Amino acid sequence: MSTDLPQEIIRRKRDGSVLSAGQIDAFVGGLVAGSVTHAQVAAFAMAVFFRGMTMDERIALTRAMTRSGTVLDWSVPGLPGPVLDKHSTGGVGDNVSLMLAPLVAACGGFVPMISGRGLGHTGGTLDKLDSIPGYRSQPGLALFRKVVREAGAAIIGPTPELAPADGTVYAVRDVTATVESIPLITASILSKKLAAGLQGLVMDVKTGSGAFMPDLEGARELATSIAAVATGAGLPTTALITAMDQPLASAAGNAVEMRNALDFLTGVHRDTRLEAVTLALGAEILVLGRLAGSREEGEAMIGKALASGAGAERFARMVAGLGGPSDLVEHPQKHLPVAPVIRPVLAADAGPVGAIDTRAVGLAVVALGGGRSRPGDGVDHAVGFTALAALGDRVGPDRPLGMVHARSEASAEAAGMALRRAYRTAEAGQAPLPPVLERIGGA
């Protein structure tokens, strides 16, 4: 019996054998051709979930899924700089991509960023961009290429041309309790990044109460897998493990995080921890792209692009190029949706913030309508929280936990109660984690 038959490949992995690159290619090729069924994909995913994959198997799976569709070649436009990107495992108040892509572009890189929507308690970059009227988050490849070439960055959603095998595998994983498999997470993320034709990638792997990988050990395992597999597949990659023990920005939602990002780019307001993570990731990207000789030089370059307004100008170009208003950066209040009910949420007890259940904050945004419980749910872009207190902040009558932005008084009241439950005040509370915890190289 042929060892390339789908059922034989599944059986081998079920029994703990190491699959060859040819067997993995055959399975993914059959998936795209339609000769591998969804039931067989589910069985394969469950076998991988329990048996795992060697590093060579992970690289082979990533490469096969990358080749399942179009692989962009940026040498055709003749871009005068490296093609670079960043990806985050997601969190609450994590709007780094909105600032980092244009800042890297202002430093000479080109950023074709393929992002996703929010699911569960984490926010999605595309949902934030969809709060901009007219913005085309899923353009054709021709417009995508044009905006990357002219603005230096374009942030869009997955397209059916890039790594289509991943869309099928992820949909099956989502309903078969196999989402947490590190080999499958690795191949899912990296197949899309490799298909985007990148020359360098920095991964932001979150850990803490608001992260997909709440414990440091799990975050370290995922970061190591992604960095090693990406580099092994020909994409130089560095991973940073960053803290998600509290919301990264002081805003959580869609339009409110977009406004927070615009304030960051224009210098109106910059959250300290958000700035530290943005600079650290930007420095890594510039070193990978050989635009900076060291992380210190890279961080200085990102800081200069931020201070000069060059990053804000690149963001404006990107938004206009993808159909959004040309004056969004100058006049965000004219374009971003605003919730009809905005009011403070007072703490149950006065004192310094000692601990935050960050996941619960994200779920409170979902309950407001700012996220989705299922992939097809709609999203209210106006709702969320702003002015969120950080660990160590003293809250009380003069300093609320945050401002709730809601569609109704009833939903504002419910969200306020949820936010109060997510915060705990204590004189001797939880010490904040450093914004950047570890750096893991792919070599």
Predicted pLDDT at 260: 98
Domain CATH for 272: 3.40.1030.10
Mean pLDDT (whole number) for 91-96:
94
Residues 25, 96, single domain; the answer is no
In a domain, 67, yes or no: no
Residues 175, 212, single domain; the answer is yes
C-alpha distances (whole Å) from 9 to each of 6, 178, 381, 406 are 5, 18, 44, 51
Q: Tell me: the pLDDT tens digits for 385-417?
A: 999 999 999 999 999 999 999 999 999 999 999
Residues 322, 351, single domain; the answer is no
Whether the CB-CB separation of 187 and 70 falls below 8 Å is answered with no
Domain CATH for 377: 3.90.1170.30
Catalytic residues: 85-88, 125, 173, 188, 192-193
Residues 406, 282, single domain; the answer is no
Range of the domain at 139: 84-332+437-441
Q: Is residue 309's pLDDT more than 70?
A: yes
Which of 20-24, 78-82, 115-119 ranks highest by mean pLDDT? 20-24
In a domain, 73, yes or no: no
Q: Tell me: the pLDDT tens digits for 141-189?
A: 899 999 999 999 999 988 888 889 988 888 888 778 887 899 999 999 8
Element (H, E) at 337: none
Nearest to 86 by CA among 51, 113, 52, 122: 113
Q: State whether residue 224 is helix, strand or coil.
A: helix
Residues 237, 108, single domain; the answer is yes
Residues 13, 40, single domain; the answer is yes
Query: 311: pLDDT confidence band, cut at 50, 70 and 90?
Result: very high
Q: State whether residue 173 is helix, strand or coil.
A: helix
Whether the CB-CB separation of 89 and 96 falls below 8 Å is answered with no
Predicted pLDDT at 158: 80
pLDDT above 90 as % of the chain: 79
Whether the CB-CB separation of 73 and 197 falls below 8 Å is answered with yes
Residues 278, 243, single domain; the answer is yes
Q: Is residue 113's pLDDT more than 90?
A: yes
Predicted pLDDT at 3: 66
Who wins on pLDDT, 266 or 158? Answer: 266
Residues 206, 280, single domain; the answer is yes
Residues 257, 355, single domain; the answer is no
Q: Tell me: the pLDDT tens digits for 419-438?
A: 999 999 987 766 788 999 99
- Cα separation, 243 vs 210, in Å, equals 9
Domain CATH for 48: 1.20.970.10
In a domain, 79, yes or no: no
Who wins on pLDDT, 3 or 187? Answer: 187
Lowest mean pLDDT among 123-127, 206-210, 229-233, 416-420: 123-127
In a domain, 77, yes or no: no
How high is the mean pLDDT of the chain? 93
User: Could you give the angle at the alpha carbon of 120 between the alpha carbons of 419 and 250, nearest 5°?
Assistant: 40
At 118, list the tokens. Answer: 């929010």
In a domain, 68, yes or no: no
Query: 375: pLDDT confidence band, cut at 50, 70 and 90?
Result: low
Residue 162 gets which letter from DSSP?
S
Concatenate the DSSP letters of all residues of 96-122 into one string: HHHHHHHHHHHTT-BEEEE----BTTB
Concatenate the DSSP letters of all residues of 15-60 into one string: TTPPPPHHHHHHHHHHHHHT-S-HHHHHHHHHHHHHH---HHHHHH
Contacts of 76 (CB under 8 A, 6+ apart): none
Q: Is residue 374's pLDDT more than 70?
A: no
For the chain, helix (H) and strand (E) counts, in that order, are 16, 13
Q: Is residue 54's pLDDT more than 70?
A: yes
Predicted pLDDT at 358: 95
Nearest to 288 by CA among 89, 95, 81: 81
In a domain, 76, yes or no: no
Q: Please count the structural domains in the chain.
A: 3
Predicted pLDDT at 172: 86
Query: 24: pLDDT confidence band, cut at 50, 70 and 90?
Result: very high
C-alpha distances (whole Å) from 217 to each of 32, 221, 235 are 35, 6, 24
Residues 325, 367, single domain; the answer is no
Looking only at Cα atoms, what is the longest distance across the chain?
A: 74
In a domain, 62, yes or no: no
Whether the CB-CB separation of 223 and 205 falls below 8 Å is answered with yes
Mean pLDDT (whole number) for 346-365:
94
Contacts of 358 (CB under 8 A, 6+ apart): 91, 92, 208, 209, 210, 211, 244, 245, 246, 247, 422
> Phi first, then psi: what are they for 406, rounded to 5°?
-135, 165
At 353, list the tokens. Answer: 């913030």
Residues 300, 341, single domain; the answer is no
Nearest to 152 by CA among 272, 321, 338, 286: 321
Residues 136, 278, single domain; the answer is yes
- Cα separation, 395 vs 408, in Å, equals 25
Q: Is residue 292's pLDDT more than 90?
A: yes
In a domain, 74, yes or no: no
Who wins on pLDDT, 189 or 324? Answer: 324
Nearest to 119 by CA among 338, 362, 336, 339: 362
**pTM for the whole structure:** 0.90
Q: Tell me: the pLDDT tens digits for 212-262?
A: 888 999 999 999 999 999 998 889 999 999 999 999 999 999 999 999 999
* Burial of residue 15 (number of CB atoms within 10 Å: 0-12, 13-18, 19+): exposed
Q: State whether residue 343 is helix, strand or coil.
A: strand
pLDDT above 70 as % of the chain: 96
